[in-house]
Structure 1
């Protein structure tokens, strides 16, 4: 699928509203968040990049979307997301790490879905908010504050969120902090990792 950024943003907004069933809104803040995350990939034919199985996505739709996600009813003809062993290990470790930090008041299945989406986003070469299809860093901060508030507390140095996620995962297992797998492709890699000498996690 081709098109300008504004075209995709317009399509994503339409898809989001179709998912929520409430133009410009949703039944809950969590429904709004997941509709934005899913729509951003859906309109690009990149549903697989969410990292969610069809069953998991269906259950998410049933919890949050109008008519159980009618906008997702038609299957997408796309290649499945293929990970090498190192990336698969990184995703599994990041997902489990995030689930362990989930706020007790959030739905456990929602926390697992978001942890999976975040873990897969760390494989891609851009700022986390762009990889997620959100509007900016503040959106990520709000999302993490809701679902994984301990991460926000730990970010005392105001690190980029993808760098913070990779650092905290490494520290949790006694490893040496380094970039997430997608970090080297980011325009700000040299800013976050001067010299680019840190080992990339999962590579």
Structure 2
């Protein structure tokens, strides 16, 4: 590689945006371990993916004795894991929806699709169920990893509602009872401000 090409490569690397996924994954993992999310054991990932995530981004945790997810979490996480297993088909549909709209096939996008799908099974706003700081942060995560899907939310619908509406439109069996969003008596539940 000549000197000019090397300078161009250095310049491109210096101006290229940093990948935000490691920071989001760290925040999600920390929130789960602190009990500030609804995520089950291993964040909703299977053992192999969870081990790969830890090895790639949190090697100190990956090398800890015992199963890191099992040894550091409480019974609530195990219960959420059981509930995830009971709703495995729903989780798979949500995961597949996210994967179909991803930017590219990367391990982080695959892990985040599984994690977001697991958080969709929680009972709070999605950003809270993931342990993120705000809805805006969730939007940035979704736009970065799943732009083809996230960009379709043109009316700023709440994300869980939006995902289930997408499944409904794909004939996924999640049927909204209203003929249209404008006529729905619970319009505010889907489009109102999240507190």
Same fold (TM over 0.5): yes
Partner of 1:12: none
1:162 pairs, out of 160, 163, 166, with: 160
1:58 matches 2:51: yes
Partner of 1:7: none
Write out aligned runs for 1:134-149 (5 A). 134-149=132-147
- Taking a change above 3 Å as real, the CA distance of residues 193 and 73 of structure 1, as seen in their structure-2 partners, is closer
Q: Give the Å deviation of 1:38.
A: 1.0
TM-score (normalised: structure 2): 0.68
Which structure would you say has the larger RCO, counting Cα contacts within 8 Å and 6 or more residues apart? 2
1:118 pairs, out of 116, 119, 124, with: 116
Alignment deviations for residues 127-151 of structure 1 (CA, whole Å, 9 cap, x no partner): 1111111111100110011100122
Q: Which moved more, 1:111-120 or 1:43-52?
A: 43-52
Q: In proportion to residue count, which structure has more helix?
A: 2
RMSD (CA atoms): 3.1
1:98 matches 2:98: yes
1:48 matches 2:46: no
Contact residue 167 and residue 174 of structure 2 kept, 8 A: no
What SS does structure 1 have at the residue aligned with 2:87? helix
1:29 pairs, out of 17, 20, 25, with: 20
Separation in 2 of the partners of 1:165 and 1:116? 14
1:39 pairs, out of 7, 30, 38, with: 30
- Taking a change above 3 Å as real, the CA distance of residues 190 and 82 of structure 1, as seen in their structure-2 partners, is farther
Separation in 2 of the partners of 1:83 and 1:175? 20
Separation in 2 of the partners of 1:41 and 1:49? 9
Contact residue 36 and residue 134 of structure 1 kept, 8 A: yes
Separation in 2 of the partners of 1:162 and 1:152? 11
Contact residue 103 and residue 147 of structure 1 kept, 8 A: yes
TM-score (normalised: structure 1): 0.65
Separation in 1 of the partners of 2:29 and 2:84? 24
